[in-house]
Structure 1
Amino acid sequence: MGSVLSERVPVLAVLALGLTQIIGYGTLYYSFSILAPDMAAQLSWSSEWVFGALSIALLVGGLTAPWLGMLFDRIGAARVMTIGSFVAAAALTVCALAPNKAAYVAALIAVEASANLVQYGAAFALLVQIRPQVASRSITYLTLIAGFASTIFWPITTALHAHLSWQNVYLVFAALNLFVCMPIHTWLSHEGTSSRVKASAAAPRVEGMLPPARRRIGFAIMVTGFSLMSLVSSAVLVHLVPLLSGLGLGATAALVGTLFGPSQVGSRLINMVFGKNLPALHLAMIAAVLIPGGVLVLLFSAPSVPGAMAFAIIFGMGNGLLSIVTGTLPLHLFGSDGYGRLQGKMMAARLILSALAPFVLAFSMENIGIPSSLGITAALGGLSIIALLSIAALRQEQHRPAEQS
């Protein structure tokens, strides 16, 4: 009976986490771009300064991520997420009530640090802890649900902001984290504990495909690949409107925006239906091809509107798969032991590069032009393909001695 239980996806846990991920990403990340102009006006800052404050907050969040990853393993990801929901609510409240610029920046740093406690890295670790044998499938289902965060929260934030100041919108979002997410995460902390006890009787852990001697280099290569993909994704998405305008496609920015979100969800749905038996490494390689591939389509087709649409679909699909493989590939390669710590280290590298990427691309566009900048960005993304192929080579090395003997 225990082994049958361990092979079933924990549907209630995935659905509950899906709701908290939508709220977590919607309130702590996607809402910012809509509220930023009002924040800038209130603080007598330019929008660039407000987004600069966000980058500083993301950078600090990235530096704290390795410590958080160890916390996932030590006290359980669900308990960390419960604490995170409270911290998020408190940070949003303090940000809304901040009396000056310094207090606002400090509160914003706390908001982004709390995001690491409740978003994908923590949620993936929780699903591995609840039922490691089916965690890959659980992660796929979760990313499918959470993929609607921007689709849901952009209009919600816009509608709220039409009637409320940004401070009051943040207070509403604080209430969502406190009164919806925190009780769910509290329940999951009890569910996670009991599920781990049940699962341990049958199959307590998932073994990694890489041998111990190759894991250090394998992890470094994997993080490099994921970080390069995240760098391209972050840089292009933050500068999407000026990029399109500079390529003569300014009028299509809204169209590209409407195609990007559904493409992310569509790629996850296709993977869920048709890619059940596709190894995580192969899925990661597909993502590594699609992300820079989309950038190249935009670069070589501009100012074609169908080309911009193709870019949005290809790039969106690559980003949708990237969210899945950052959860499933570490489990596939390194197993379930110490999974939270690995997620923490990966979060750190990706967040730091994601924070720096917009500044680097802005500097590059200003000094060498948009086409050259896009070409360099695509080339950096292409290096992630080489990184993932190197991991495949490490796995082949593992099997070769066994075949010879």
Structure 2
Amino acid sequence: MVATPQNGESPATRPGPRLARQGWPLVAALSVAQLVSWGTIYYAFAVFVVPMEAELGWSRTALNGALSLGLLTAGLCAYTVGSRIDRQGGRLLMSLGSLLAVALLVAWSFVQHIAAFYAIWFGLGVAMAMTLYEPVFAVLTRLFPENYRFRITMLTLTGGFASTVFIPLSAWFIELLGWRDALLALAAFNLVICLPVHALLLSDREAPPAPQAETEATIGDPMRRALRHPVFWGLALCFTFYYATFSALTFHFFPLMDERGFSLALAVGVFAVIGPAQVAGRIILLVFGRNISAATTGRIIVVMFPVSVSLLILFPSSVTALFAFAAIYGCANGIMTIVRGTAVPDLLWREGYGAINGALTLPSNLAKALAPSVAALIWSATSDYRQVLWVIVAGALVSAAGFWFAAAKSRR
């Protein structure tokens, strides 16, 4: 296999000053649209659980089951969405995704029956597959092959604030308007910001041709070749176990803190460190990443996850260890989002990026949806979160091994 130049650039394709400036208004607009899409479709969900439970009488398990259905649906749609972007670009798909989000958020505001709620979240899963990071990464890789990695990093700097902005904003809307009208406000954000960005600013111009060496390396169907390549399966192992451990830890962090006797205020303070740490990690990559290959970056980041969780096991009563965990974990997670978006062109090839990345998304989303329930079963069997943490560390080590395997096979 022909190696891909680090950072998505080569002497033949590295942009000059004029070319490097092209497309930045689009990247800035897409960044804001990602902030809104993630904030309104994904992160805001947690804020609506309690008021919906109080008014409608549905259990939290039933409510969160709808989110799991949405994540599974997004994973199932990812390959189809990615393949379409490979062939035709993302303008139509991402515009329809934003329009679908508007319609379904409005429908959610009128929901009365649990079956309708699940149907809405099935549709929101489709909307997530058409609007969140995976499709926009495919768009940027398709349109800007000369420096896609840098542009993806810049986009995620803004997207990383989605939870920071929209969780408190959604809570304020609920307090001010009630949860039903709050959903109408979130729908308006998608209508006024995301839909115009995707429909009016996003271009579907022809993607620049791949370098001849890369084209020769990927002759035939890129997806079929990827399925026969060990790098693809190493990445699939890495991302599946990473998202499993991330999801299990995220949803069980507060019960873990409660079991260990930490106050809710301290737990919230520790958790609040993760968001800024994610952005800090991306800024570090932005400053130093051009001098470090993508494979090296990934090797370092995947090791940071088991190290961070080990702090929770080794120092169960230390407040210092808690904040150190949050800083390391958040920094690594922030950079991992970029590694996830650039691993296919960096370690395999750019051709067929959307389809290949979509195929990697399915097992990742399945793991993300099921991991919290598996962690809950382990806790129920042992009544001790220490055992859950050991399983999470084991999963993080499997994830790290998958990436190191993929990086080694890519070099060969």
Q: TM-score, normalised by structure 1?
A: 0.91
Rounded Cα–Cα distance in structure 1 between residues aligned with 2:213 and 2:63: 44
Distance in 1 (CA, whole Å) between partners of 2:213 and 2:261 is 50
More helix per residue: 1 or 2? Answer: 1
Percent of aligned pairs with the same amino acid: 32
- Separation in structure 2 between the aligned mates of residue 92 and residue 84 of structure 1, nearest angstrom: 12
State the alpha-carbon separation in 2 of the partners of residues 352 and 234 from structure 1. 11
Distance 2:400 2:321 in 1: 23
Offset at residue 7 of structure 1 (A): 4.5
Deviations 1:341-393 (A, max 9, x none): 01211221211110001101111111122101101111111112211221232
Aligned residue for 2:393?
A: 378
Q: Does 1:99 align with 2:112?
A: yes
CA distance in 2, matches of 1:230, 1:179: 32
RMSD: 2.3
Of residues 169, 173, 184 in structure 2, which corresponds to 1:156?
Answer: 169
In 2: Cα distance, 1:129 partner to 1:42 partner: 46
1: CA distance, partners of 2:342 / 2:214? 13
Aligned to 2:328: 314
Question: What letter matches 1:381 in structure 2?
Answer: A
Q: How many residues align?
A: 391
What does residue range 23-172 of structure 1 map to in structure 2 within 5 Å?
23-172=36-185
State the match for 1:403 in structure 2.
Answer: none
Residue of structure 2 aligned with 1:268, choices 282, 289, 309: 282
CA distance in 2, matches of 1:211, 1:77: 22
1:123-272 matches, within 5 Å, as 123-190=136-203, 192-193=204-205, 196=206, 199-200=208-209, 207=214, 216-251=229-264, 252-272=266-286
Letter of the structure 2 residue corresponding to residue 94 of structure 1: A
Q: Which whole-Å deviations, capped at 9, do the CAs of 1:223-277 have from their partners, x for residues lacking one?
A: 1101111111111011110012223334421111221111111100111012222
* Alpha-carbon spacing, 1:44–1:348, altered in 2? closer, same or farther (3 Å): same
- Specify the SS of the correspondent of 2:147: helix
Q: From the superposition, tell whether residues 25 and 289 of structure 1 become closer, same or farther in structure 2 (CA, over 3 Å).
A: same
* Shift in CA distance, 216/356, structure 1 to aligned 2, threshold 3 Å: same
User: What is the alpha-carbon distance in structure 2 between the residues aligned to residue 86 and residue 23 of structure 1?
Assistant: 13
Give 1:79 deviation, angstroms.
2.2
Q: Could you tell me how far apart the structure 2 residues matched to 1:337 and 1:232 are? A: 30
State the Cα distance separating 1:205 from its structure 2 match: 8.1
| 1:350 is aligned to 2:364 | yes
Cα distance in 2 between the residues matched to 1:34 and 1:99:
18
Match of 1:338 among 345, 348, 352: 352
- Structure 2 CA distance, aligned partners of 1:367 and 1:179? 48
Aligned-partner residue type, residue 386 of structure 1: A
Partner of 1:402: none
The residue that corresponds to 1:401 in the other structure is: none
CA contact (8 A) 1:210 1:333 kept: no
Quick check: 1:359 aligned with 2:373?
yes
Distance across 1 between alignment mates of 2:240 and 2:348: 18
CA deviations on 1:3-42 (whole Å, 9 max, x unpaired) are: 5355456311111011000000100011111111112222
1:32-61 CA distance string (max 9 Å, x none) = 111111122222112222112211221222
Paired residue type of 1:82: S
Shift of 1:144: 1.0
| Counterpart for residue 402 of structure 2 | 387
C-alpha distance after superposition, 1:75-113 (max 9, x if no partner):
312321111100111111112122311111110221122
In 2, Cα distance between equivalents of 1:288 and 1:47:
32
1:333 positional shift: 1.6
2:26 and 2:202 in contact (8 A); partners too: no
Report the 3-state secondary structure (helix = DSSP H, G, I; strand = E; otherwise coil) of the residue aligned with 1:328: helix
**Residues 278, 335 of structure 2: 8 Å contact kept:** yes
* Aligned: 1:288 with 2:302: yes
Counterpart of 2:6 in structure 1 is none
SS at match of 1:364: helix
TM-score (norm: length of structure 2): 0.89
Contact 1:260 1:315 in 2 (8 A): yes
| Larger RCO (alpha carbons 8 Å, 6+ apart) | 2
Letter in 1 for 2:102: A
Whether the 8 Å contact between 1:9 and 1:138 is mirrored in structure 2 is no
What letter matches 1:187 in structure 2?
A: L
Q: 1:395 to 1:342 in 2, by over 3 A?
A: closer
Find 1:13's aligned residue among 26, 48, 73: 26
Whole-angstrom CA distance in 1 between matches of 2:242 and 2:22: 29
- Report the CA distance shift for 1:278/1:230 in structure 2 as closer, same or farther (over 3 A): same
How far apart, in 2, do the equivalents of 1:76 and 1:351 lie? 23
Q: How far off its partner does 1:211 sit?
A: 8.0
Aligned equivalent of 2:8 = none
Amino acid at match of 2:214: E
